[in-house]
Structure 1
Amino acid sequence: MRSTPDAHRDAEFELVVSTRRTVADRVCVLTLSRPDGSALPRWSPGAHIDLVLGAGLVRQYSLCGDPHDAASWQVAVLLEEQSRGGSATVHRELTAGTSVRARGPRNHFPLVSAPRYLFVAGGIGIAPLVPMVATADSAGADWRLVYGGRRRSAMAFADTLAESYDDKVHVLPEDETGLLPLEPVVRAADDSTAIYCCGPASLITEVEKLHADAGKGTLHVERFGPQAAVEPEGRGTFEVEAARSGTVVTVGPDTTVLEALRSAGVDVLSACTEGICGTCEVKVLAGTPEHRDSILTEQERAAGDTMFVCVSRCLSRRLLLDV
């Protein structure tokens, strides 16, 4: 199950970098723990945490370690070629022994129960799939991982996965084998297959198209960035009531729900402001939201009982939110 909005309001807490190791070109894995060694919040495959890297600098990283390890978390961080500050700060400043503040975990990419799985990863998109693969294997499920990257040396965990799971793992560097053979891979899935895909937008778009054409299995994706914008229906003015305080705000065409609430003194946690991290999720108690996020499934959108206030708007006159 996805995390509930209440789980997003976890206070920040301090962690220490226990170890840092390089696992591929421009990719390091940080092992994080509490200074006193006490247990960390539990998590499930697909979860991520926020690292608070400075004033206004918050980045989300998938947990890629062992969900049963209560003493530490692990995140894999790619040094982006055009870093906006997050990955560069991690690679430059977070060495063994340094402290960092964190929030979470939260999970918008949960591993559902299924008899068989197809995992498709591109680049650092392998990170959330590592604990999924381990969980599927432990459960005795039938599974396959297809993992692509520009070159083998840049593919984190490639050797470890191949050694651990043999022919269930297909490591396909582009400079050796060309682009991933996505069409036969996706079309081979049957109705009982849960397909998990994480990686660049081009990879996800292609897998979504192939899955829609094939019509088999269930598809679950996690994105690094927001989906292409579609002109919203709810461009007009509407009201939002904060149920806990009774505060009512007016949201204009050029204002987000998040901005309007904050300007009225209603505290809502947020991070990406692009509808991809899930930090600002709130419960909808009344009204019809217009979903603009890149997280919710079609079924969750249709339910209309939750929304991400950094990007989503309103199709009714008023929204009543649990904030």
Structure 2
Amino acid sequence: MFSGFFDKLKSGLSKTKNNFTDRITEILTGTVSIDEDMYDELEEILITSDIGVETSVYIIDKLKEKIRQEKIKDPSEVNGCLKRVILDILETSKGSIDPDSTPETILIIGVNGVGKTTSIGKIAAKLKKQKYKVIMAAADTFRAAAIDQLEVWSTRAGVELIKHQEGSDPAAVVYDAIQAAKARNADILICDTAGRLHNKKNLMDELGKINRVIEREFGNSSRKTFLVLDATTGQNAVIQAKQFTEVCKVDGIILTKLDGTAKGGIIISIKHILNIPVQLIGVGEGIDDLQEFDSNEFVEALF
């Protein structure tokens, strides 16, 4: 039923599971009847598992509704009911980075330190493995380390990288990368962009300029923008995502470092509050540890 990645996911989510499901099981085992005290304790666990107040309150309301509808009286059945509520929020979804059509341009945004450049390298390697011709553009020109890091990934993945000097105009890098993509008949162009959220106007201007260049020079390519978030930052990641959605349209989330945190519950929060699909999740350092998100697998691994 589940992929080999499921075991990796299960072990990656072990900290979240200990913080979340195991504590819920503990409470339900000691509960004699379904009452307000039980709901309060469950809500507290949800909030402290980084699901956030708004989503936690919503989950408890939906849980009460379901328990009434299904006429559940036995506390031992509450866990299964909670699982169904969470699945309803996530919906049956399977993330994908496959292009809708080719050529396609993927813009990757995210603040420094979230694993953006590493994610780009892994995505490029993944798409190359799927026989797509990929070109990367190092348009995060404000960080020399980002360009160097992408160079390492370009060698590792066997994917061409278009870069300029540190401090160059990011839109000029994207322009050159588009010319290269057209000349080499590439299927996918992946652009790394800067994530300086503290100055929203600059970021908005920069992304606007990049998008205008793509529109003008590569108008026949479909376009997606993925936002990279670090799961270990918990609710801060949700705040970041909100801020980025004020700057540009975000088509999907890439959630990194899920294996090192007890805050995996933010996946539920992101979907409920922002309604942006999580496309990829990172559960390890390896090149194959960035995988398509599957809501059913996630909930199974959590429970």
TM-score of Structure 1 vs Structure 2, range by shorter chain: 0.3 to 0.5
TM-score relative to the length of structure 1: 0.34
Q: Which of 1 and 2 has higher RCO (CA within 8 Å, sep 6+)?
A: 2
User: Going by fraction, where is helix more abundant, 1 or 2?
Assistant: 2
TM-score, structure 2 as length reference: 0.36
